[in-house]
Amino acid sequence: MASHVLLVGLLCAALHPSSASRWLLQDEEGIDLPPVLNDNEAHKDNLVRWNATVDDYCGNDHPMNRWIMKFNDSYVKLLQDTCEGQMNSAEAHPETYECESLYSSLEVAAEREQGYAKDYLEELGKENILGYCESLLSYWTKTNRTVCEDVSEYLAMVEMIVLSTANTEILEEIRMAFGSEYLNYIERNTPVQLDQSEGGQTVGSSLWGLDRIDQQEGEATYNGNYNPGGTGSGVHVYIIDTGINAVHNDWSGRVGNGVNYIDNNDDPSDCHGHGTHCAGTAIGTVYGVAKQATLHGVKVLSCSGSGSSSGVISGVNWVAANRINPAVASMSLGGGFSQASNDAINSLFDSGVVVTTAAGNDNQDACSHSPASAEKSFTVASSTSSDTRSSFSNYGSQCTNMFAPGSSILSAWIGSSTATNTISGTSMATPHVAGVMALYLGHHPQATPAEVWQGLLDAAYLGIISDTQGTPNRLLSALVQPCSLGEGETSTD
């Protein structure tokens, strides 16, 4: 993760229209990158299409002053060709970087200068100087070749640069400098939050959601059993949220690698509870749909349940780069419409990961929210135990795909290895769908995301939900594969 995060500083001079824009590229420890990517005279070639944080040196890093810049493939191709061209030239003319020649030049210069320069050269010694030179050149060549290879590797991913500035003149300057040939758009780095609604009491069975989605005929009859005919074994479910309680008993022995974009480390520990709750519904042994799937925590929201679209995109990109197939991504979060967020979801789908997102809890059209409005997001509205649309649930014919249980859902929580909580929201509906996607992939591990979609649509209960507000009248069914009664059956009491 860290090797692909660049800290890019926009110099204060760029704040003044009279001065040319200058860009300084550094790695995350503040060390200047090699010259192949740091030509201040050609700033168009300096903005690397990786996940990057750009802070202007004059200090305008307020959340409302953050912008996402999205470059297109033409710019990436330009960067790649430039990088490869310079590296190929260097490798074709090694004499330019031959240490013996460099040392000879030093000797000539020292002889001309006499005095201190000559004494210092003799004191260092030729062997030490050559060794240091060769070490530096080896590092330079290796680093630049790796950079070129990484640019190629990440071409298929949605990447962005986050610019922090209160000066909108800079944004216009960037637009003019790159033009539509290379720059797709600049948009505000919007806040993102949980799609969790109010708490509530359990209704009927304590795990009514599981009981509801395995009914043979789709009728709302609760028999206290959950029998989907599968377990999701071998499938990897990525919960992009507040993290997970890795020590919870509900998934003991089934936790894979994860990442934390709030604290910038590999420990996605949950200090809120929301991500843990979603994980329990998706893959928990007691509370979950796919009871043998592997869990991965991707922390993009803080202890307060808040984050930014750039942080969410970083998490999505991490899943694309580190996924273990077959894979499902579950996102019970959202904010205002963001093209950058939607692009990230679409690219994750194209990489082979099926994605499900929450419709949102504002009782309005989901098309005004992201990532719910992403074209390739399987977006979920919330239903109640009496088969009505939850009063808080977003809706719509264009940007929602299905209903799933989301009111008064019991699942795992933080604080101990056995903690639980009952909460409501489209956040709770979404991991039900993620779990069923895992069930489908357990039966069909080579299925494409589009085939997983079709499997869920084919199995859905039709025409059951009331007050749909135009949402497709489909209710999630876990019966995505014929099952033998009794096999894998568990109690939902």
Give the tens place of pLDDT for each residue, 57-89. 333 444 455 666 676 667 667 666 766 666 666
Is the pLDDT reported for residue 224 higher than 50?
yes
Q: Is residue 144, in this structure, part of any structural domain at all?
A: no
Is the pLDDT reported for residue 409 higher than 90?
yes
- The two tokens of residue 219 are 């009728």
The CATH number given to whatever domain includes residue 334 is 3.40.50.200
Unique residue bearing structure tokens 């260097």: 90
Q: So what's the pLDDT on residue 167?
A: 63
Task: Give φ, ψ of 355 to 5 degrees.
Answer: -120, 135
Q: Is residue 315, in this structure, part of any structural domain at all?
A: yes
Residue 133: which pLDDT band, with cuts at 50, 70 and 90? confident
Q: Which residue is catalytic, options 241, 250, 270, 387?
A: 241
Q: Is residue 375, in this structure, part of any structural domain at all?
A: yes
- Annotated catalytic residue 427: yes
* Of residues 233, 228, 225, 171, the one with CA closest to residue 21: 171
Q: Is residue 351, in this structure, part of any structural domain at all?
A: yes
* 240 in the same domain as 157: no
Give the count of alpha carbons within 13 A of 223, CB side only.
Answer: 11
Count of domains for the chain: 2
- CA 4 to centroid of chain Cα atoms: 14
Instruction: Domain of residue 266: give its range.
Output: 192-491
Angstrom distance (rounded) from CA 124 to CA 131: 11
Q: In the predicted model, what is the mean pLDDT of residues 103-111? A: 75
* 244 in the same domain as 173: no
Q: So what's the pLDDT on residue 186?
A: 73
* 182 in the same domain as 224: no
Q: Is residue 287, in this structure, part of any structural domain at all?
A: yes
Q: Is residue 111, in this structure, part of any structural domain at all?
A: no
Domain boundary, last residue among 189, 210, 245: 189
Longest dimension (CA), the chain: 97
Q: Is residue 127, in this structure, part of any structural domain at all?
A: no
Q: Is residue 132, in this structure, part of any structural domain at all?
A: no
Mean pLDDT value across the chain: 76
* Of residues 233, 235, 241, the one with CA closest to residue 411: 241
Q: In the predicted model, what is the mean pLDDT of residues 445-451? A: 96
Is the pLDDT reported for residue 39 higher than 90?
no
Domain boundary, last residue among 189, 213, 243: 189
* 212 in the same domain as 71: no
Domain boundary, last residue among 141, 169, 189: 189
The answer to whether residues 39 and 45 touch, using CB atoms and an 8 Å cutoff, is yes
* 246 in the same domain as 157: no
Question: What is the pTM assigned to this prediction?
Answer: 0.70
* 426 in the same domain as 347: yes
Q: What percent of the chain has pLDDT over 70?
A: 65
Q: Which residue is catalytic, options 274, 296, 369, 432?
A: 274
Q: Which residue is catalytic, options 332, 351, 427, 477?
A: 427
* 441 in the same domain as 425: yes
Q: So what's the pLDDT on residue 108?
A: 77
Q: So what's the pLDDT on residue 74?
A: 73
Q: So what's the pLDDT on residue 42?
A: 36
* 343 in the same domain as 254: yes
* 323 in the same domain as 308: yes
